[in-house]
Structure 1
């Protein structure tokens, strides 16, 4: 029997601490004070009669008991989120909703075509799109706040408990405004002479970029601005001499229009799979099956290599 002393706030706080690996950051996400979230965690551990987390230099780490409890705590939150979404759908005048997470490169390059395809084959499905960095989206996928996520394959530790179906491959580009001085004499080792918009920690492309720069002998970049915002990067790069390191799909439209230009560096080493992520333990809903069909059509129409299993 479930101990009635365990409340929703206990589960929510514990899961958020595990996701952020920090009591301070978890408290900020939940709009709580650090003493309040520490008290909630202590209450949960006292109810369970076991230590769930231990603190270390990196933040917090799960105990064996914590690993077991986290698995079921995440499932509980996901189930609750799905229940809430189901109630919303009942009152949505027959509209069926599908919540899709899209990394910036996908949101800019592919999702407009997917939405157009869905409007044709499934006009009664309401698409909700959330964009953001990889870690943010996959966390919400696990919690049931998103039905699917489309983006780059992340590091192994970020993909645990998720299925991944590759759709196509994409590489990273070094983007500048038209007329940038580096275009006259391209030299990768000179990028540190300008401000560089760099993928932040948690971005799927960051490890690829770091390996690429190390392989080409590029040292520390003195003026580095970390951002994953496509909206910011497009405007700021056009209005400055900044060099933007970003997935090609994010700026495909701007490159085609001539507003932004990729520096002629060979970045094939940064190529990586982009795919569809989902929770593997769930049966595909009718709306998700239609979405996969629309996704396949959009990829074929855009010229990207299609690789979607039925």
Structure 2
């Protein structure tokens, strides 16, 4: 432990010493300073005496009831005032940080909703001017559910997980969504007069990896159509990589419809005319059953519901 005396810091000096000293300087009177601080005059005089003893200098010249600073007192005033001001600023900063922390809450979002629903929901929420700060956390479903279970996120928005992963969670259904087989707009498979799903075996396939929420659905769909395994298969949870790769190649990307809804709507990507109605799955809000979501999270959830309703 450092030697405070050797460094010029005496542990005997307390905040009350600085406060009393500066108030006496401000008022120039023991009586007025004691009244302002809610102290008795003897208690205030004792505090000044203690400070002078610690510093081993005389801080005030006394002329009747009036006090004036000595040359030592003038020097000490500059540093004591700066120190107390810095401390108050630090305390205000901590209070601000604490308030900001209280106003913040975390929302876990799967790619299913991150591209289409979530931006609209966030815009609706922020337009209310509530002074609340949502933190959007993205990642694989297993990770987000573990964060929800630990209380690190308040709720998770996205496709419902497999039943074995939903223990201890409640799910509020908002809408149904299928997976899509997505390619670049000029893909050869789009030029065929009659689309044959089996033809995707001739192209690289981008698949969600094991552990991702739609992997079981995608795997069941391919198995039901006697497709796979594929030699040129790439597993990825990176939507940015998959978008870029598909647009620059003839790869076929199997992904949740909502992830690429905007790109499909604007013609940046195209959907193969494959019937994927059997892959419809519920998308909604996942919360813990043992605790009520925080009020900010409930308000954000309402914005999500409104965004979904607005999109029909």
Fold equivalence (TM over 0.5): yes
Given candidates 202, 206, 210, the residue that maps to 1:201 is: 210
Given candidates 292, 296, 301, the residue that maps to 2:305 is: 296
Q: Distance in 2 between matches of 1:88 and 1:232?
A: 42
Unaligned runs of 5+ in 2: 1-93
Q: Distance in 2 between matches of 1:142 and 1:88?
A: 29
User: What is aligned with 1:270?
Assistant: 279
Of the structure 1 ranges 166-175 and 177-186, higher mean CA displacement relative to structure 2 is found in: 177-186
Given candidates 238, 251, 267, the residue that maps to 2:247 is: 238
Given candidates 113, 125, 140, the residue that maps to 1:133 is: 140
Given candidates 160, 165, 169, the residue that maps to 1:158 is: 165
User: What is aligned with 1:119?
Assistant: 126
Q: Compute the displacement of 1:289 (Å).
A: 2.1
> TM-score normalised to the size of structure 2?
0.66
Q: Structure 1's 94 and 225: CA in aligned 2 closer, same or farther, altered over 3 A?
A: closer
RMSD: 1.8
Q: Distance in 2 between matches of 1:252 and 1:263?
A: 14
Given candidates 208, 216, 219, the residue that maps to 1:210 is: 219
Q: Distance in 1 between matches of 2:309 and 2:247?
A: 30
Q: Distance in 2 between matches of 1:148 and 1:296?
A: 14
Q: Distance in 2 between matches of 1:173 and 1:88?
A: 49
Q: Compute the displacement of 1:219 (Å).
A: 2.6
Given candidates 149, 154, 164, the residue that maps to 1:147 is: 154
Q: Compute the displacement of 1:121 (Å).
A: 2.2
Q: Compute the displacement of 1:285 (Å).
A: 2.2
Of the structure 1 ranges 92-101 and 236-245, higher mean CA displacement relative to structure 2 is found in: 92-101
Q: Distance in 1 between matches of 2:306 and 2:251?
A: 36
Q: Structure 1's 194 and 94: CA in aligned 2 closer, same or farther, altered over 3 A?
A: closer
Structure whose alpha-carbon radius of gyration is higher: 2
Q: Structure 1's 174 and 297: CA in aligned 2 closer, same or farther, altered over 3 A?
A: same
Q: Report if aligned partners of 1:121, 1:290 keep a CA contact under 8 Å in 2.
A: no
Unaligned runs of 5+ in 1: 1-86, 304-310
Given candidates 231, 236, 241, the residue that maps to 1:227 is: 236
> TM-score normalised to the size of structure 1?
0.67
User: What is aligned with 1:42?
Assistant: none
Q: Report if aligned partners of 2:155, 2:293 keep a CA contact under 8 Å in 1.
A: no
Q: Structure 1's 146 and 94: CA in aligned 2 closer, same or farther, altered over 3 A?
A: closer
Q: Structure 1's 192 and 88: CA in aligned 2 closer, same or farther, altered over 3 A?
A: farther
SS state of the match for residue 112, structure 2?
A: helix
Q: Distance in 1 between matches of 2:281 and 2:101?
A: 39
Q: How does 1:1-310 map to 2 (within 5 A)?
A: 91-93=98-100, 96-185=103-192, 186-303=195-312
**Deviation per residue, 1:146-167 (Å, 9 max, x gap):** 1110111111221111111111
SS state of the match for residue 114, structure 1?
A: helix
Q: Report if aligned partners of 2:287, 2:293 keep a CA contact under 8 Å in 1.
A: no
